[in-house]
Amino acid sequence: MTRAILTDIEGTTSSVSFVKDVLFPYARDHLDAFVAANAANPEVDRWLAATAQEAGLAPDDVPGLVATLRRWIDEDRKATPLKALQGMIWEAGYRAGAYRAHVYPEVAAQLRAWKAQGLPLYVYSSGSVAAQKLFFRHSEAGDLSVLFDGHFDTEIGAKREASSYARIAAAIGLAPQDILFLSDIVEELDAASSAGLQTIWLCRPPLQCPADSQHPCVGDFDAIAV
């Protein structure tokens, strides 16, 4: 029995290309100006210090920190400090109307239908919680943020580690087997399954579900029965 749904974003609710071709370049292009304009912001300072610690740099080496963050963007590195700073930069872009977050055509209606059934909805993404909320608040389908009961990012743990999903289940307050996790990444699904969660693999066209999949596999949200 499914009592809650936990969903990934990239490749699951939304296209990977939007993140890689729109959001990542926007953050990269605005990184210098953002750091310079927010030098006195304690939250920005906190994440720059965390970047320095992770990269082995001096906290006051601003050019080195900016260069490191740019490299991490290019590598799509799942570094929590990067994700937090990207989220702050993306917020400015959303507010300026520079873009709207992509969601696949059926996603909004299906999320609303699950919510109407009484199913709590949660997000687990490598992007920061703040970035997740912005993403769904400023989506092409309108403000979807009101549909979600909670958000999780890499501060709770890496997405390919079973312990992360166990912690999420504990935070939600449900047994792992009562939570359905949706993702397009098989390693994430393997980790969630190892923790006891139900799983569904999103293989959106032109990808096709492999015949030997260890996880139930669908092409879109409309094919998910809960």
Distance (Å, whole) CA 9 – CA 124? 8
pLDDT tens-digit readout, 151-193 = 999 999 999 999 999 999 999 999 999 999 999 999 999 999 9
For the chain, give every domain's residue range: 4-15+101-223, 18-95
Partners of 121 in beta bridges = 5
Task: Say if residue 210 is preceded by a cis peptide, omega within 30 of 0.
Answer: no
Would you say domain 4-15+101-223 falls under CATH 3.40.50.1000?
yes
The reply to whether 18-95 shares the fold of 4-15+101-223 is no
Query: Is the predicted pLDDT of residue 39 greater than 90, yes or no?
Result: no
Q: Can you name the CATH fold of 18-95? A: 1.10.720
pLDDT tens-digit readout, 108-156 = 999 999 999 999 999 999 888 988 999 999 999 999 999 999 999 999 9
Distance (Å, whole) CA 197 – CA 181? 7
Distance (Å, whole) CA 62 – CA 205? 43
